[in-house]
Chains A and B, each alone.
Chain A
Amino acid sequence: MAEQTLDKTAKADKAAKAEKADKAGGAAQAAPGQARVPTVIADDVHIVYRVNGGPKGRGSATAALSRILRRKGSPGMREVHAVRGVTFVAYRGESIGLIGSNGSGKSTLLKAVAGLLPTERGKVYTDGQPSLLGVNAALMNDLTGERNVILGGLAMGMSREQIRERYQDIVDFSGINEKGDFITLPMRTYSSGMAARLRFSIAAAKDHDVLMIDEALATGDRKFQKRSEARIRELRKDAGTVFLVSHNNKSIRDTCDRVLWLEKGELLMDGPTDEVIKAYEKETGK
C-alpha cells in the first residue's frame, strides 16, 4: 500500500521531466533510432582530498611548531589523489553500475557528479540536480523519529506541504510502528536495523532526476530488503539516469545495463554489464 501512494506522488515530477526531455531532444529526435540525450558528462575529472594530521615527518608538537615557523607549506597536510582523469557520458534512461575494489574512488566519483565534492581539474556537467540517496547526515539521534522525518525531508529540499503529504507513507514504509508507537521515541532508542529502515524510507521518499545509490540496498531484515528493492526499481523508472555503487555483482547484473570499472581512481573499463563484470571477476579471481 505504501508503495502505491509513493508512486502516485511521483507523477507530477514525471510530467515535468517528460516536458524537459522534449525540449532537450529537439536535435536528438532527428537522429535515427533511439534518441540519446546525455544527462551527465564527466570530462577528465580529478579529485584530490587534502587530509590534515596525516603522519608525515615527525609528528611531535615541536616539529609542528618549527614547520609553522618556517612556513613550509601546511604542516602535516597530505594529498590523496582519489580520482584521476575519469571521462564518461551517461545518457537518459541508462542505469550504470560502478565497480572496483575498496578505495578505488567509486563513492568519491559519485559525490563529484552530485557536485558535493569540488573537482581539482576537469568538469562535471549535469542535467538538473543529481542527488545521492541518503539523508543520514541530516538526522539527529536525540530527536524523535517523527521530527527526523520532517528534518530529513526539509534537508533534502522537500517543502513542508510535501512532507505532510508523504509523512504517513514514510512511516508506514519504514514499518517502525509495526511493533508499537516507536516513531515518537528518540532515534537513539532504535535498534540499528530500525534506524537504517527509517533512514532509507526518508531518503527514498523524494524523486530524483539523476539518482545515485551507494550500496544502500542491504539494510534491514529480509522483508524490508525486498520492499526497498521494489522502491528502488520504482525510483529508477522515474529517474532519468541511475548510478549504483555496489560490491554485489548480482545486484549490479540485475539492475544495470552499463558498468564503469574504477581501479586506483582510473577508469579501467566502460561497457555493457556482462563484458565488464566478466573481466572484473577474472581479475579478482572469483
Chain B
Amino acid sequence: MSAPPSADDGLSPAELARKYGLSVSGARVGLGEYIRQMWGRRHFILAFSQAKLTAQYSQAKLGQLWQVVTPLLNAAVYFFIFGLLLGGRGGMENDMYIPFLVTGVFVFTFSQASAMAGVRAISGNLGLVRALHFPRASLPISFALQQLQQLLFSMIVLVIVLLGFGHFPDFAWVLVIPALALQFVFNTGLALILARMGAKTPDLAQLLPFLLRTWMYASGVMYPLEHMLKKAGAHTWVSDVLLANPAAVYMDLMRYALINDYPSSNLPPHVWALALGWAVLIGAGGFVYFWKAEEQYGRG
C-alpha cells in the first residue's frame, strides 16, 4: 500500500509489536491470571455443565427421570451379581449390604464418570476449542461439575434406600458434605490430568474403561475390601495400599457417614487426612499440570 513514510519503516515485526504494545496471540498466561480468567468464566462453566446434563436425556420419553433411574438400575445389577450370585457380601445382612452396595456404586461412579468425561473433555470438543476463547480448564471442570450434579440426583435414590432399610438421619450425615466436597476436588483434578493426556493421546479414551474397571474391583465397591483381602491372604502392604486408594477412602467415608452402625474399624487409619491429601494433591497438581499445556490445546 502507498502509505506515507513513517518512523516505523525498517522495524522488524517483533520491534513493531513491542513499540505498539501488541502481545503474542494465544500465549499462555501466568497461573494467577489464569485463575482470575477462570473465575470470570464461572457462569459459563456452570451453564455448560447444566446444559450437558439436560441434553443427555432430552430425547428420552421419561426425560430427566433417567437421571435417577440409571444409577438405581446399576445398583440392581451389582446386587444381583455380587449380593446373590457370587456371595461377596462378607456376612452382611440385606439391611446392611444393600445400602453398603448402593453407596459404593454411586460414589465410585462419580469418580469413574468424571474420569471418562475428563479424558474426552478436550479431544471430544475440538470444535469448541478451535472456535472460541476461554481458559481450556473450563471444559474438564465443567464435566466434573456435571457429574457432581448427576450424583446429587443419585443421592435422592440413596436416601430412599437408606430410609427403606432403617438407616435414619443422624448427626453423622453432616459428614457427607465434607466427604463429597473433597471427592469433587479430587475428581476435578483427575479430569484435568486425563484431559491433558487425552488431548495429546486420544487413544487413552479406549484404554481408560479397562483401567477404571480394575480400579473399581480393587477398591471394594461391591464387597468389603478388607474381608476380601483377608480371604485371599494378601500381604499387609497390599491391603494398606488398596485401602488408602482415593476411591476406597471416599467410599468408606460416605458409608461411615450414612449407614448407622457402620463399624469405624472398616476405615483405614488417618482417613480424613488421606481424603484431604488426595484432594489437595490431585486437585491442585492436576490444575497446574493442565495449565502447563494451555497453549497447545486445539492442535489436531
Question: Residues of A with Cβ closer than 8 Å to B?
Answer: 24, 27-28, 30-34, 36-44, 49-52, 87, 89, 111-119, 123-127, 129-132, 134-138, 140-143, 147, 150-151, 154-157, 159-160, 186, 258, 271-272
Contacts and interface: CB of A to CB of B under 8 A. Distances in A.
Contacts of A32: 4
B59 interface: yes
B133 A131 contact: yes
B130 A151 contact: no
A111 B128 contact: no
Contacts of A51: 300
Interface string B63-89: 000000000000000000000000000
Interface stretch (B42-50, B93-101, B158-166, B241-249): B42-50
B181 interface: no
Nearest to B55: A142
Q: Name the residue among B12, B14, B127, B300 with the largest chain A CB count within 10 angstroms.
A: B300
B178 to A, nearest CB: 30
B16 A118 contact: no
A258 B48 contact: no
Contact of B8 (A36, A49, A154): A36
Contacts of B32: none
Q: Name the residue among B20, B134, B298 with the largest chain A CB count within 10 angstroms.
A: B20
A32 B25 CA distance: 30
Contacts of B40: 157
B270 interface: no
A143 B55 contact: yes
Contacts of B125: 137
A120 to B, nearest CB: 9
Contact of B134 (A31, A39, A157, A271): A157
A186 B132 contact: no
B174 interface: no
Given A24-B20, A116-B129, A151-B51, 11 more contacts: A34-B4, A38-B20, A41-B17, A43-B17, A44-B13, A123-B25, A124-B24, A135-B132, A154-B43, A186-B58, A271-B1
Contacts of B134: 155, 157
Contacts of B213: none
B57 to A, nearest CB: 9
Given A50-B299, A137-B128, A154-B44, A31 B6 contact: yes
Interface of A (DSSP majority class)? mixed
Interface string B129-153: 1111110000000000000000000
Contacts of A115: 25-27, 133
Given A143-B58, A155-B44, A118 B131 contact: no
A159 B41 CA distance: 9
A38 B18 CA distance: 11
A112 B298 CA distance: 11
Nearest to A141: B55
Contacts of A141: 55
A84 to B, nearest CB: 17
Contact of A134 (B3, B6, B54, B131): B131
Q: List 8 tightest A-B contacts by C-beta distance, closest first.
A: A115-B26, A125-B17, A43-B13, A115-B25, A142-B55, A137-B127, A125-B22, A154-B44
A48 B12 CA distance: 24
B25 A113 contact: yes
A136 to B, nearest CB: 7
B25 to A, nearest CB: 4
26 contacts: A31-B4, A37-B20, A38-B8, A41-B22, A43-B13, A49-B299, A89-B13, A111-B130, A114-B26, A116-B130, A118-B296, A119-B26, A123-B14, A124-B24, A126-B25, A127-B23, A132-B132, A134-B131, A137-B131, A143-B58, A147-B51, A150-B47, A154-B44, A157-B40, A157-B44, A157-B133
A138 B22 contact: no
B48 A118 contact: no
B26 A160 contact: no
B14 to A, nearest CB: 7
Nearest to B56: A142
A83 to B, nearest CB: 13
Contact of A41 (B1, B6, B13, B51): B13
Nearest to A150: B47
A176 B95 CA distance: 55
A147 B47 CA distance: 9
A125 B131 contact: no
Contact of A116 (B4, B6, B59, B131): B131
A131 B130 CA distance: 11
Contact of B131 (A31, A132, A271): A132
A66 to B, nearest CB: 16
Nearest to B296: A118
B7 interface: yes
Given A156-B132, A160-B43, A50 B300 contact: yes
B263 interface: no
Nearest to B4: A33
Given A27-B19, A38-B16, A151 B133 contact: no
